[in-house]
Amino acid sequence: MSKILVIDDEKAIVRAITEILEYENHQIDTAFNGLEGVNKLKTNDYDLVLCDIKMPKMDGIEVLQHIDIEQKPPMIMISGHGDIATAVECLKLGAADFIEKPLDLNKLLQTINAVLQSPTSVFKHKIKPKYNDTFSPDEIIGKSVVMLEMKRLITKIAKADTAKVLITGGNGSGKELVARSIHAQSRRSNMPFVEINCAAIPNELIESELFGHEKGSFTSAIKQRKGKFEQADGGFLFLDEVGDMNLSAQSKVLRALQEQKITRVGSEKDIKVNVRIIAATNKDLKNEIKLGNFREDLYHRLCVIEIKVPDLNDRREDIPLLIDHFLSQITDKSQHISIDSAAVSALMKLDYSGNVRQLRNIIERLTILCDKKITAKDVKDYAFA
């Protein structure tokens, strides 16, 4: 359970957010203007803050400016349609993310879960090293031939201390788990694992996120900040969705890989870094090179070893194991939800264009909508939203 502060002057929105988050077992506190929110932040500890941008007495930007983002919880900003430029300014000030009004509650939950579950989320300043978590290579579920071969390859790759790895595969196939498994089995396992989702960051922010910036280097750069390369020094930097990185950032990443040094935005000083790079993408980078969207020299730097994560449709024999795993994750002892063999057979016949993530979503939906036991009829009725 997480403690979340909701700051918004629209009481109907606060009520709706409170109801859905309390249903998800979060503890909610509220404030109806920015000044009230700042006062609560000064006297209470929260795991996350949802903050509207347009408010009386003190707006969302002023809230960000009145708190020390290094010492406070991550903040997700809520912006109206006309506030996108302002929302980008909030990101520069250290906000974790922003979502637009009218609120899509599913997207809201996804964003909240992503920030809460990713201590090194792409915009977060207060970094909690990934090496303190409890990840185990056993979290990669599967005993099919392709999965056993992939696990053997991961073990070999993990021991090669400097080899760069490119992980390819469809959305939801488990590329991040592969990256974490390499880290967990490597000699750098007690050093940071820092990730950045290249697709989630606006182009104007990507270089600052990667390389850091000096105070005053651009509007709202109110203090010096280390980038992801520095944060990952001695450990791993995971470039997720690297195929979405803009060409300017690509050229600077290439230099960092070649020379093992970076330069913060607004500085001329080089900083030496010792980082092992893992990149992941769902795109065909060779085709992106032909289209002029990706640098060929960077591709060859990143793809020393390639790991292809198989689609779930290509390893259906792993579906029963995954079902058991997700049921144990999602349900608690008080629920006692089981699944009969006919339901498992029905799930094995579905098309999983969204891969393992899609299967997990289906299992979660079934545990909510079904009673004591999941049946084949339940799968037919509820597998697709």
Domain extents in the chain: 3-117, 130-308, 313-382
pTM, two decimal places: 0.66
Res 126: pLDDT: 34
* CA nearest neighbour of 267 among 219, 220, 215, 232: 215
pLDDT per residue of the chain (385 residues) written in tens, 0 to 9: 789 999 999 999 999 999 999 988 899 999 999 999 999 988 888 999 999 988 888 888 888 888 765 567 888 988 875 556 676 677 777 787 888 888 888 888 888 887 886 544 333 333 333 444 556 777 899 999 999 999 999 999 998 877 899 999 999 999 999 999 999 999 898 899 999 999 888 888 899 899 988 887 776 667 788 899 999 999 999 999 999 999 999 999 999 999 999 999 888 899 999 999 999 999 999 999 999 999 999 999 999 999 999 999 999 999 999 999 999 888 875 677 899 999 999 999 999 999 999 999 999 999 989 888 999 999 999 998 6
Identify whether the C-beta of residue 176 lies closer than 8 Å to the C-beta of residue 114. no
- Which residues lie across from 374 on neighbouring strands? 339
Neighbours of 77 (CB within 10 A): 28
Return the CATH class of domain 3-117. Answer: alpha beta
**What's the CATH code, domain 313-382?**
1.10.8.60
Same fold? 130-308, 313-382 = no
Res 334: pLDDT: 61
- Between CA 345 and CA 380 the distance in angstroms is 12
Res 83: pLDDT: 57
Domain 130-308 has CATH 3.40.50.720: no
Res 25: pLDDT: 86
Q: φ, ψ for residue 144 (rounded to 5)?
A: -70, 165
C-alpha separations of 381 from 259, 343, 362, 363, 375 in Å: 56, 11, 11, 13, 10
- Between CA 165 and CA 242 the distance in angstroms is 12
According to DSSP, the β-strands at 305-308 and 276-281 are unpaired
